[in-house]
């Protein structure tokens, strides 16, 4: 009987100890950020702002690029038909109605019909550079964020380690584990935050670059098709 009571007491004590350990190991993200101290919270705040900026730029540019890539497959056939029959005004009206990077390039070429082919080609190339610049607007900020965010996170790591070393140096042989842990929390949380923001911005940047290149190739193909049509013998 006594042995059974002892076993029950040991089991209950183990359960209580296990419960306490599980509570001690449980830590939410908010608590983890708060445990990093003022320096850690400032760094995390900066990283959060960069993340919001990166997400906004990504979706804003994605919708703009998607709209720019929409061109009617029959657009060039209609343009060539108008140009062949001398309906320059109708071709320009059609370009204005479509209002896409491709149509704006073709419209620039149409306004130069009658001049040497080299001049038309130069005009289209110059207009193309402007269209590419508009497509890539603010995309470079994503590249900057993808490189700067991990560095900012590493800055928080360095600050956290400095705080930990400072506490060790001023402990007088008795290290305060809580203060030491605060510095380590700052180091770890900012590093993870910086890497997360950097990875998100990097993936977003490369995806936009791929989508932009597709639009650029589309512009080049349609421009060459237009120039070839002008070069055809009547």
Per residue in 127-137, pLDDT (tens digit) is 888 888 888 88
Residues 47 and 151 in one domain: yes
The pLDDT tens digits for 197-225 are 999 999 999 999 999 998 888 888 888 88
Does residue 184 lie within any of the structural domains? yes
Give 18 or 83, the one with higher predicted confidence.
83
* Residue 21 maps to a domain: no
Same domain, 84 and 131: yes
Clarify whether residues 54 and 149 are in a common domain.
Answer: yes
Domain shared by 160 and 191, yes or no: yes
Average pLDDT (100-107) is 86
Q: pTM for the complete prediction?
A: 0.74
Question: Assign residue 72 a region: left if phi > 0, alpha if psi is -120 to 50, beta otherwise?
Answer: beta
pLDDT category at 78 given cuts 50, 70, 90 is confident
Number of Cβ within a 10 Å radius of residue 150: 21
Are 224 and 210 part of one and the same domain? Answer: yes
Between 23-27, 37-41, 140-144, 185-189, the lowest mean confidence (pLDDT) is in 23-27
User: Are 127 and 98 found together in one domain?
Assistant: yes
Q: For the chain, how many structural domains are there in total? A: 2
């Amino acid at each position: 009987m006594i042995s059974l009571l002892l076993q029950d007491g040991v089991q209950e004590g183990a359960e209580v100890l296990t419960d306490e350990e599980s509570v001690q190991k449980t830590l939410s993200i908010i608590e983890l950020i708060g445990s990093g101290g003022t320096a850690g919270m400032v760094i995390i705040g900066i990283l959060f702002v960069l993340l919001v900026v990166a997400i906004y730029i990504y979706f804003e540019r994605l919708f703009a690029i998607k709209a720019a890539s929409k061109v009617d497959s029959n657009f060039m056939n209609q343009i060539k038909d108008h140009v062949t029959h001398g309906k320059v005004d109708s071709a320009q009206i059609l370009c204005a109605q479509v209002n896409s990077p491709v149509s704006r390039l073709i419209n620039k070429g149409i306004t130069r019909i009658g001049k040497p082919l080299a001049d038309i080609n130069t005009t289209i190339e110059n207009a193309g550079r402007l269209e590419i610049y508009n497509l890539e607007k603010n995309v470079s900020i994503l590249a900057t964020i993808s490189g700067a965010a991990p560095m900012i996170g590493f800055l928080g790591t360095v600050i956290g380690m400095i705080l930990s070393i400072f506490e060790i140096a001023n402990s007088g042989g008795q290290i305060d584990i809580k203060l030491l842990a605060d510095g380590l929390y700052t180091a770890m949380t900012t590093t993870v935050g910086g890497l997360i923001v950097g990875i998100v911005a990097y993936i977003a940047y490369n995806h936009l670059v791929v989508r932009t290149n597709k639009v650029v190739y589309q512009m080049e193909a349609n421009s060459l098709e237009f120039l070839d049509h002008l070069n055809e013998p009547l």
